Structure 1
Amino acid sequence: MRIAVYERYGPPEVLHLQEAAEPTIDASEVLVRVEASTVGPSDSAGRSGTPRFARLFFGLTKPKHPVLGSDFAGVVERVGSDVTRFAPGDRVFGTLAPSMGAHAELVVIAEDDRSRTSPQGSTPQGRSRRSTGSSPHCPSSAISPGWRPARSCSSTGRPARWARRRCSSRSTSVRRSSACAAPRTHRSSPRSGADRVIDYTREDFTEARGAYDVIFDAVGKRSFGAARRALAPHGIYLTTVPSAAIMVQWPLTRWFSHGRRAAIAFTGLRDIRLKAAELALLVELIDAGAFVPVVDRVVPFDDIADAHRRVDTGHKAGSVVVAMAPAASASSPAPSPKPVAA
């Protein structure tokens, strides 16, 4: 099988594909042939070694996770002798988080680790295989915090907006939108999941003093300091992107603030029961037609460095999907998968 590896920190060019031995499985494990994965900010940080404190996880002086990637979608290739939940040919998607290794043509998952793998058995037939690959990263970042109104954007923001609808709340999305033509703000389409959209090229959402119970910065574009005055008196600023500032603000505001607070969501480290519930919720949303993954672009596995370059720009709009198999076409519907209970 092929894997994408790197031996030193640096630009996207440090990545290269190489052959590796096919992994073996024990009696309770499942071997999945990966058709699609994603490249996200955590992969970019792991590859570049920046910000510097990211090396506490990825390796102080050199990478200790030679194969990046957490999300995957594909087909069960082989199962162990004790496995009953999956069978060869079943379509599955999931996440390896907090581990890495999905940027490979084959991955191994334990059958009983329901926080990491969910069957695609009930997903609509017309759903793209590549879109499936963009799904797992979203719920673990977006569904975990409990909130009401939120500022959301990107591949993480969209499922966040669908999640808040389950709480009968209202959300505002901040993004650059070609749909924002004449008015400075407008009502979003039902498929976007937001009640209101602000075009950040025309309006600064932070000027709305005390307007939001939660500001969820999914891509690390605005700091807690910049967004603080837009929070309600006991509001919270949430981000999935680590920075030196947020690592200091998080404990300080949690322990000493009686008002506005800052927090970062290390979702991959959360309780496995919560992550399992989130995967089940994702399947529910997809079945209902309430959530369709947003794909910024699809990059062939051979060009995975290009996927990292796109993420490094900080301007991706949705998931950057890596297609391991040529058959995993965004325009080719996946065959009807075998239903498997999640």
Structure 2
Amino acid sequence: MRAAVYRSYGPPDVVRIEEVPTPVPGGQEIVVRVHAATLDVTDATARCGSPGYSRLFFGLRRPKWTVLGSDFAGVVEAVGSAVTRVRVGDEVVGVTGPDFGAHAEYVRIHQDGALAPKPANLDFAEAVALADATALAFLRDRARLRPGESLLVNGASGAVGSAAVQLGRHFGARVTGVCSTAHLELVRELGAEEVLDYTTVDFTRSGRRYDVVFDVAGTSSFGRSRRVLTPTGRYLSPVPSPGLLVQMPWTTAFGRRRAIVAFTGLRKAAEKTRDLLFTRELAQAGTLRPVIAARYPLERITEAHQHLDRGKYGNIVVTMTGAGTDTTRAG
């Protein structure tokens, strides 16, 4: 099978298309023919091996896993003799976990892995664009966002941010989105009551107060954002800076305003499966919509990584069908 392989850290061109063995399922394993997978900031971090401390996980001198990609959507191709959860031909969405492997024509996972039926109203690219549950885990589980609370999402047009805006509205919060000039209208369409252009407004000096600041972009800090938090406000970020890692236990023990970081990709497969099922319900109800920046066929994976390095809104999706790039906002 074809796969996007990298064997050393570096720029986008370290990723090459190679022929590798097609996986064969063991007794409790499932092989999925991948139709679409996402390319995200975790893939970029793993590819670059930067920041340096990330190599403690990804591999000190060279990559521990040579095929990137965590979120995938496709069709069950083969199952092991003890598999009871799915059948050949089922359309599914899944997450491989920390060992990657989805940027390939086939991926193998254990039947107890993170897997759910694909939303019936979405194609494979659209479905995989909703597979990442970072926003859900932060807002529902870590912030415990409640109806009537105020939520600010910094980086509201990105893959995680666009989901956070929609989920915040679903949970009954008053949502403010922060993004670039080009994406103000998109964030409004997603449900933000107010949208701030970060090129002209510094939200930390706006004078407004928020119950939750979700700094998806990682361009602010707890120290800067503290002034706009309510007395019991929560500052969330998926970007684990050293300062934030120190502030989190300190504010939990001694402060009313809290700094929160979480490694959502390391959660148990059962938790991820529940999130996939929850997301599927919202997608089929029309409450949650995918935002896709571009679709790249696997053979143009280097271009996809270059796009990611330049910055993006929404999701970058890698397809295995050879379809051309699609820059439509929503899939």
Closer, same or farther in 2 for the Cα pair 1:308/1:242, shift >3 Å? farther
> Aligned partners of 1:199, 1:50: CA distance in 2, in Å?
29
Q: Once the two structures are superposed, what CA deviation does each residue of 1:14-70 show, in whole Å capped at 9, x if it has no partner?
A: 111111111111222211011111111111111111111111110122211111111
Calculate percent identity across the aligned residue pairs: 40
Q: After TM superposition, give the deviation of residue 224 of structure 1 in Å.
A: 2.2
Q: 1:167 aligns with which of 131, 154, 171?
A: 171
Check conservation: 2:2, 2:105, Cα contact below 8 A.
yes
Closer, same or farther in 2 for the Cα pair 1:325/1:25, shift >3 Å? same
1:296 maps to 293
Check conservation: 1:6, 1:47, Cα contact below 8 A.
yes
> Aligned partners of 1:251, 1:167: CA distance in 2, in Å?
27
Closer, same or farther in 2 for the Cα pair 1:180/1:194, shift >3 Å? closer
Closer, same or farther in 2 for the Cα pair 1:245/1:290, shift >3 Å? same
Q: Does 1:110 align with 2:110?
A: yes
> Aligned partners of 2:294, 2:187: CA distance in 1, in Å?
26
Deviates more, 1:206-215 or 1:35-44: 206-215
Q: Does 1:242 align with 2:240?
A: yes
2:303 alignment partner AA: D
> Aligned partners of 2:37, 2:252: CA distance in 1, in Å?
35
Number of equivalent positions:
317
SS at match of 2:287: coil
Q: 2:160 aligns with which of 156, 166, 173?
A: 156
> Aligned partners of 1:17, 1:221: CA distance in 2, in Å?
34
Check conservation: 2:162, 2:187, Cα contact below 8 A.
no
Q: Once the two structures are superposed, what CA deviation does each residue of 1:269-288 show, in whole Å capped at 9, x if it has no partner?
A: 12434322211111001110
Q: What are the residue-to-residue correspondences of 1:270-285 with 2, within 5 Å? A: 270-285=267-282
Q: After TM superposition, give the deviation of residue 196 of structure 1 in Å.
A: 2.0
Closer, same or farther in 2 for the Cα pair 1:321/1:179, shift >3 Å? closer
Q: Does 1:90 align with 2:90?
A: yes
> Aligned partners of 1:7, 1:246: CA distance in 2, in Å?
31
> Aligned partners of 2:110, 2:268: CA distance in 1, in Å?
16
1:318 maps to 314
Check conservation: 2:37, 2:73, Cα contact below 8 A.
yes
SS at match of 1:171: strand
> Aligned partners of 1:157, 1:179: CA distance in 2, in Å?
12
1:250 alignment partner AA: M
Check conservation: 2:295, 2:324, Cα contact below 8 A.
no
1:249 alignment partner AA: Q
Give RMSD over aligned pairs: 2.4
Q: Does 1:131 align with 2:126?
A: yes
Q: After TM superposition, give the deviation of residue 167 of structure 1 in Å.
A: 3.2
Q: What TM-score does the superposition give when structure 2 sets the normalisation length?
A: 0.88
1:74 alignment partner AA: G
Q: Once the two structures are superposed, what CA deviation does each residue of 1:97-152 show, in whole Å capped at 9, x if it has no partner?
A: 23311111111122233xx11111x421xx33222222212x23434432243222
Q: Does 1:99 align with 2:99?
A: yes
Q: What TM-score does the superposition give when structure 1 sets the normalisation length?
A: 0.85
> Aligned partners of 2:134, 2:218: CA distance in 1, in Å?
17
2:45 maps to 45
Closer, same or farther in 2 for the Cα pair 1:55/1:251, shift >3 Å? farther
More helix by share: 2
Q: Does 1:140 align with 2:134?
A: yes
1:264 maps to 261
Closer, same or farther in 2 for the Cα pair 1:329/1:287, shift >3 Å? farther
Deviates more, 1:172-181 or 1:270-279: 172-181
SS at match of 1:160: helix
Check conservation: 2:294, 2:326, Cα contact below 8 A.
no
Ranked by relative contact order (alpha carbons within 8 Å, sequence separation 6 or more), the top structure is: 1
> Aligned partners of 2:74, 2:194: CA distance in 1, in Å?
35
> Aligned partners of 2:192, 2:252: CA distance in 1, in Å?
28
